[in-house]
Structure 1
Amino acid sequence: MSRVLIVDDHPVIRLAVKLLLNQLSHEIVAESDNGVEAVQVARDLRPDLVILDIDIPKLDGLEVIKRLKAIDLSMRILILTSHSANQFAMRCLSAGALGFVTKGEKLDELEYAIKAVLNGYQHIPRELTISVQAYKPETEEDKIEKLSNREMAVLRLIAKGMTNKEIGDDLMLSNKTISTYKSRLMEKLEAETTLDLAEFAKRNKLD
């Protein structure tokens, strides 16, 4: 039995999903109708699976995926949405979701998706199977391989908690140059802050 969080702003959809989960003997730890609350509940309760709609208020589904992955990489996410698979499935998978089901599908399709995702398998719409079979999400190792030697050096020093001036002195570069390297690192590693860069480096034992 797995612990599940349902996130959808339509009560009827939440009810249908809840009934299916009860039939499958899963524990529903909470329900939410908006993205901000969903992230907080997920942080507090740490469910095994989050069944998430994309079009939800306060914080959209794609941003929720990003924040949930930052909280706990083992938390599995299954998208259940009315949006087109052609336009959103790959985007959601790239963001970190493990499965994608459209609301127009029958409930047994959702049941199959839940089982697949909980077992660590990717579940995608049938019409996208061929194209996604060749798709491999970029890993953190892939991102590291794309860094230049100088970018790696700057990243390692950031992880040590050094300031721009200290890094510049160490590498004999100007503050402006170090700032440029930081901007490149944030873009390549999809980081928003210097702290994100430091955590990335430590997570991959680059410090």
Structure 2
Amino acid sequence: MNKEQITIIVADDHPMLLKGLHDELTGSGYTIIGQADNGIQALEIVLKLKPTIALLDIDMPVLNGFEVIKMARDKGSETKFIILSFHKESYYLVQAKTFQINGYLLKEDSFFEIERCINEVIAGNVYFSKSIDAQPIMQATEELKRLNLLTLSETKILKLIAQKISNQEIAESLSLSIRTIEKHRSNIIDKLGLKKENNVLTNWALMNRSTILSQ
């Protein structure tokens, strides 16, 4: 597939970044078929225009980049998604891996890096920015592996915890005793390798809510 055949939409709520990226891509021969400055607009454009690639910021109004990707894929979109963000913490990388995003770039990257990512994604590969240290990526992978250690019951309970539902309410909804729920919580803490501190599981679940609810 040559550049002219690659259709791209770009979504970012920073006008100058949006314009700069648009100008770089069009100047290099890519076909930009749409732009958006918020998540819901990005989702509508992806579903309507069916671009080859969507370059999305994470932090957008209405829907964030991850939410756009999940909703688009739930509706059968075959667009390849590349995140373009300032964030390189493992929390964001875990979500990128969870949603099986095709590419993850940093806004500090050169256009050469963006173009290399596009080429890799078109070739069917997953590409993470070379500016991201290997350690956070490895940490993100390990966190996902640990989530996969949970049983179906533990996963269900963790999802309820992530939705701020109390032990009492969880026990009632699953027709289990409080003691059984507490035992499940203890097992989850052990499997996730968390320190046994007050509210550690609740805090971890709320911080990783998007990843947990997508399981």
Verify same fold: TM over 0.5: yes
Which residue of 80, 85, 98 maps to 2:84?
A: 80
Describe the superposition over 1:186-205 as per-residue Cα deviations: whole angstroms up to 9, x where unpaired.
xx9958xxxxxxxxxxxxxx
Give the drift of 1:134. Answer: 9.9
Instruction: Report what 1:91 is aligned to.
Output: 95
Instruction: Report what 1:102 is aligned to.
Output: 106
Give the alignment's TM-score, normalised by structure 1: 0.61
Which residue of 41, 64, 68 maps to 2:68?
A: 64
Matched, 1:52 2:90: no
| Secondary structure of 1:91 counterpart | helix
Contact residue 79 and residue 99 of structure 1 kept, 8 A: yes
> Mind listing any 5+ residue stretches in structure 2 that lack a counterpart?
154-172, 175-211
Instruction: Report what 2:125 is aligned to.
Output: 121
Task: Using the TM superposition, name which of 66-75 and 95-104 deviates more.
Answer: 66-75
Contact residue 55 and residue 84 of structure 2 kept, 8 A: yes
- Distance in 2, matches of 1:88 and 1:65, equals 14
State the AA in 1 paired with 2:6: S
Contact residue 100 and residue 125 of structure 1 kept, 8 A: yes
Identity, % of aligned pairs? 27
Contact residue 6 and residue 50 of structure 1 kept, 8 A: yes
Alignment RMSD (CA, Å): 3.6
Give the alignment's TM-score, normalised by structure 2: 0.59
Q: How do 1:164-179 residues align onto structure 2 when only pairs under 5 Å count?
A: none
Matched, 1:28 2:38: no
- Distance in 2, matches of 1:4 and 1:71, equals 19
Give the drift of 1:60. Answer: 1.2
Change (3 A) 1:133 1:88: closer
| Secondary structure of 1:41 counterpart | helix
State the AA in 2 paired with 1:12: M
| Secondary structure of 2:91 counterpart | helix
Instruction: Report what 1:2 is aligned to.
Output: 6
Q: How many residues align?
A: 157
- Distance in 1, matches of 2:46 and 2:214, equals 22
- Distance in 1, matches of 2:93 and 2:139, equals 13
- Distance in 1, matches of 2:139 and 2:126, equals 10
| Secondary structure of 1:14 counterpart | helix
State the AA in 1 paired with 2:91: Q
